[in-house]
Every structure is written in structure tokens, then in C-alpha cells.
Amino acid sequence: MSQLSTRHLLGIKDLTPEDINLILDTAANFKEVINRPIKKVPSLRDITIANVFFENSTRTRLSFELAEKRLSADVINFSSSNSSVKKGETLVDTVNNILSMKVDMVVMRHSSPGAPHFLSKNVKANIVNAGDGTHEHPTQALLDSFSIREKLGDLAGKKVAIIGDILHSRVALSNIFCLQKMGAEVMVCGPITLLPKHIESLGVKVELDVKKALQWCDVANVLRIQLERQQIKYFPSLREYSLYYGVNKKMLDELDKEIVIMHPGPINRGVELSSDVADSEHSIILEQVQNGVAVRMAVLYLLAGAKN
């Protein structure tokens, strides 16, 4: 098996476990590549990729751009703040205009859930979802799974707690799909107001007490409080959130085992994660960032390799 079952990466939901394994195995090869003295391979030198970001992003856009450049692709960047979108152009028109300049792949972030799915049905290029609203963020889930696999050897049977703002988190949803497909057990933990209704129907455990969640898990993936997506108050104050749901060193010291701490970034230090945990030996946060480039290289390489 050396080919993905899909020609777009729209969400983890559409991938098979074999697809995920292929991406993670290929990412391991690319991780070796990006640690060489010369960190570049020529695979995608005849490919042009457009990074189309309708929503702010620093690390994901940089990570994709670096992955594309390490694969020798030509890269163009587009962000909606300085574009014709402001002048009323539709999404399909904007992307088709970009594609008419002989672009082969589109990496898109959009605030509307399903935007990349819509695009994939209306344009010819391969589409990679770099986050669509509160729906999915597949490459983040893949890099999280890659990081866990690298640290713990295997995902099957591992217990992963996702802690924080589950309601607004596309990272949480993609992670749930990805981890379950790889045979891991998933728990979500957060204030009841930040847990989606019926989340247990996805087959995840639900826990309101963060200490119990930490005691249960092998890996804690701590999410950021997404204030920018919150239209109403879901908890009284950040200070109160931090007191009840912030993960700190004392909590980890009280556990009778070592657990791995992850965070998709950017961290609100002192809110969901204290600095001494973020910078501790439990944390693989910076490793996640490096793995992000390798995983995105694998995704782009495998999608480009599929014969259209």
C-alpha cells in the first residue's frame, strides 16, 4: 500500500487507518530528511502550491510553506486580508483565478466548516484542509498522532485525554477521529459549557475533573481557550478557568506515573498550561512543531503522487 485512498485531505473522517499509517510512515522518512545537512528533496519541483488562508495563522502557514519548500515546490501565498475577497469575489472564483495560473494544489484555511469540501467539488486541484472553522484540522491531528507514536511507540491501546475548549476546537474533533482510527482510547475533559452536547456519541469518555483525566491518561493534549471564537461567556474568568482546568507541575507530581503533555499552540501560558509544565521534560510541544513539517511534507508528497 503506497497510495492514499483520496486525492484531497479534507478531514481525518475520510481517511482509512491504512491512509493514516502510510502518512505517518512517510512522515518518519521526511523527518530524517529535514534533519540532514541539506534538508531538501526534489520530489515536487514541477508542482505549484497555493496557500490560501482566509483566517489568521502563523504556525500552520509557516509549517506548510516550509514543507512545500523542502519538497522543492513553487509556493504562492494568499491571505484574505489584502485580496479581492474583500471586493465581493466568491470562493470558487477566487480559487479558480489562482488555479488558472497553473497551480496544482491548494492548501486552504477557512472560517466556514466544510469550505474545503465545497471547493474540492468545484475546482480541479488537490485540496488540503488547513483548518475549516470549528470542524477539522487534519494535519494537526496527524502530527499529534505522529508525535505520540514517536514518543510511545504505538497508538493502539494508548489513552489520550483532550483537555480544554472542546466545543470550538477543530483540533479536538480531528484528533478524536484520528486516535480512534489508530486504536487509541480518547477522553475529553473541560468545563461542561465547553463540551459539545452528545460528544459521547463519538465514542469518547467525558470527564469534568481534570485531575481524574490526568490520572487516567498516558497523554494529555491540552488545548487553547479560543476566546476569538467565543461569542458569549462560557466561564466566569480566565483566572477561574486556570484554577479549575489549568494543568500545572503540582498536578503532574501528584500522579503515580509519567504522562506526556502536548499542546497544538499557541500556548496561553498560565491559563491552560503553566510555564513549568510547558517547558518540562513531560512536554513534547516543540517536537510537535518539528513533526508538523514532516507530516505536512508526507501529506503533500502522497497527494501529489496520486495519478489524477
Partner 1 sequence: MQKRLVLDQQQIGIILRRFCHQLIENHDNFENTVLLGLQPRGSILLDQLAPVLEEISGIKVPFGYLDATFHRDDFRRRDFPLKANETKIDFLVEGKKVILVDDVLYKGRSVRAAMDAMIAFGRPQKVELMVLVDRKLTRDYPIMPDYFGIRVNTLDSQYVLVEWANQGQEQDAVWITEKVKS
Which residues does the annotation place in the binding site for L-aspartate?
87, 170, 224
Q: How many CB atoms lie within 10 A of CB 169?
A: 27
| Alpha carbons 98 and 279: distance in angstroms, whole number | 41
Q: How many CB atoms lie within 10 A of CB 2?
A: 8
Min dist CB 51 to partner 1, Å, is 21
User: Residues 6 or more apart from 92 whose CB is under 8 A from it?
Assistant: 118, 119, 122, 123
Burial of 146 (C-beta count, 10 Å sphere; 0-12/13-18/19+): buried
Per-residue binding string, partner 1, 269-308, x by CB under 8 A, is --------------------------------xx-xxxx-
Min dist CB 232 to partner 1, Å, is 48
- Residue numbers in the known binding site are 59-60, 87, 109, 137, 140, 170, 224, 265-266
Which residue's CB is nearer to partner 1, number 43 or number 180? 43
Min dist CB 26 to partner 1, Å, is 6
Min dist CB 3 to partner 1, Å, is 5
Sheet arrangement for strand 126-132: 74-79, 48-53, 105-110, 126-132
Min dist CB 69 to partner 1, Å, is 14
Window contacting partner 1 (CB under 8 A); options: 21-29, 50-58, 182-190, 209-217: 21-29
Q: Name which of residues 61 to 90 contact partner 1 (CB under 8 A).
A: 71
The residue among 143, 225, 138, 239 whose CA lies nearest residue 190 is 225
Residue 80 has phi, psi (to 5 degrees) of: -70, -20
232 makes contact with partner 1 (CB under 8 A): no
Which residue's CB is nearer to partner 1, number 71 or number 115? 71
| Alpha carbons 57 and 76: distance in angstroms, whole number | 15
Window contacting partner 1 (CB under 8 A); options: 5-13, 28-36, 129-137, 233-241: 28-36
| Alpha carbons 101 and 78: distance in angstroms, whole number | 13
Residues that bind partner 1 (CB under 8 A): 1-3, 22, 25-26, 28-30, 32-33, 36-43, 46, 71, 301-302, 304-307
